[in-house]
Amino acid sequence: MGSASAMKVAVLGGGNMGVNVIEHLRDSPLVREITVFDPDSAKLAKLQHSHGVSTEHELERLLDDVTIPLVFITASNDAHKSLAVRALEAGKAVMCEKPMATNLADAEEMVAVAEKTNGFLQVGFELRYSHLYTRVKQWVDAGLVGRVRNTQCTYCTSAWGRHNVWRAAAGTSGGMFGEKLSHYVDLVRWWVQDEVEEVYAVAAPNVISYYEVHDNYHCTYRFKSGAVSQLTFMMAPAATFQGDPLQNAVSQQAGDGHALRYMLYGDRGAAETDVFLRTLKRWEFGEDAWGQTSKWVENHTWNPDEDFAWFHNTHDQALDIVRRVAMGEPPMTAPRDALETTRLCFAAELSSKEGRPVRLAELGAGVTP
């Protein structure tokens, strides 16, 4: 850890995700104090009491505090851009939750400001820290599956449930693709290390009638290399879950209609991940006198108490970001890389809206879902 001294860290947004981050930051030896800003002062008072954090009611005062080098933005999506830009301009390192913003122009502005100020901006794609998905990345990087040709993701989950939730409102959410599915396309971009050229997404009329955003998609996207990825998403079939959506619920949700399975096929082998079955598998392809062969060569699982690390590993993400800022290292994922995932999400929204394939090159600034 070198000689970096412990820092004061700010959390902007004291909802579910803010609490998550506060709890993770407690495990970092590099954090000496956590301060929280949220326009909801009742929430601040509660957090002060329940989590022993300091609180700040004036954003400007927090941004002027030179003893705070790093802020985590865990506010609702419509606040991300303004908070990120102001924090970067105040010289803070910024971790911003996904989606970057509710429209592409805002996301582009965030990256431009990060580059202009030479600032630190990392977007919360924590699946890149997941032990499960990192293993697949290592297999791809080591050439064990060869050139990736095809990936498939099936994701079925329960509704967010509540009426009037900001996540399901078009203006404050920015669209289901960014709010929910950005993780699952970012992961594939990370595995494949190639740029997406074109996307085609279709959505059927909603099951959840009061959502302004789509609750379902079939989406296909094609990379420059020719590799093709497919994502099928459906919200609502899984048993209603009324708890904190961020808690580790793999055991509770297994078998109740939740599904999150990837298949990745290369020209030398394949990989499969299944969160709710807790499985990770690998195959090697070959050829013999009979023809094409496939050999199942690896089969892994993990314990329920490891679910967090193997799935949404926001814990290691938070600690890694603190460490990077303390050591003066760049973000794990460059802002332009996160922006490319964001562009894919908005292209998918545009495609489903216009009922046609969308080339990412045709996306100008200011596209809204």
Ligand X SMILES: NC(=O)c1ccc[n+]([C@@H]2O[C@H](COP(=O)([O-])OP(=O)(O)OC[C@H]3O[C@@H](n4cnc5c(N)ncnc54)[C@H](O)[C@@H]3O)[C@@H](O)[C@H]2O)c1
Residues at the contact surface with ligand X, assessed by CB under 6 A = 12-18, 37-40, 43, 74-77, 79, 83, 97-98, 124, 126, 179, 246, 312
What's the CA gap between 271 and 179, in Å, rounded?
26
In the complex, minimum distance from the CB of residue 106 to ligand X, in angstroms, rounded to a whole number? 13
What's the CA gap between 47 and 26, in Å, rounded?
14
Pairing of strands 70-73, 93-96: parallel
Cβ proximity to ligand X: between 74 and 157 the closer is 74
Cβ proximity to ligand X: between 97 and 349 the closer is 97
Cβ proximity to ligand X: between 204 and 246 the closer is 246
In the complex, minimum distance from the CB of residue 47 to ligand X, in angstroms, rounded to a whole number? 9
Max intra-chain CA distance, the chain: 73
Cβ proximity to ligand X: between 58 and 288 the closer is 58
Q: What type of residue sits at position 65?
A: D
C-beta nearest to ligand X: residue = 15
Give me the half-sphere count of Cα atoms (radius 13 Å) on the Cβ side of residue 196.
Answer: 37
Cβ proximity to ligand X: between 109 and 198 the closer is 109
Cβ proximity to ligand X: between 57 and 224 the closer is 57
In the complex, minimum distance from the CB of residue 173 to ligand X, in angstroms, rounded to a whole number? 8
In the complex, minimum distance from the CB of residue 229 to ligand X, in angstroms, rounded to a whole number? 20
Are the C-beta atoms of 98 and 32 separated by less than 8 Å? no
In the complex, minimum distance from the CB of residue 129 to ligand X, in angstroms, rounded to a whole number? 11
The H or E element that residue 326 is part of is: helix 314-327
What's the CA gap between 268 and 39, in Å, rounded?
53
Q: What type of residue sits at position 239?
A: A
In the complex, minimum distance from the CB of residue 218 to ligand X, in angstroms, rounded to a whole number? 23
Compute CA 343 distance to the chain's CA centroid, rounded to the nearest angstrom. Answer: 14
What's the CA gap between 64 and 59, in Å, rounded?
9
Are the C-beta atoms of 360 and 347 separated by less than 8 Å? yes
Q: What type of residue sits at position 354?
A: E
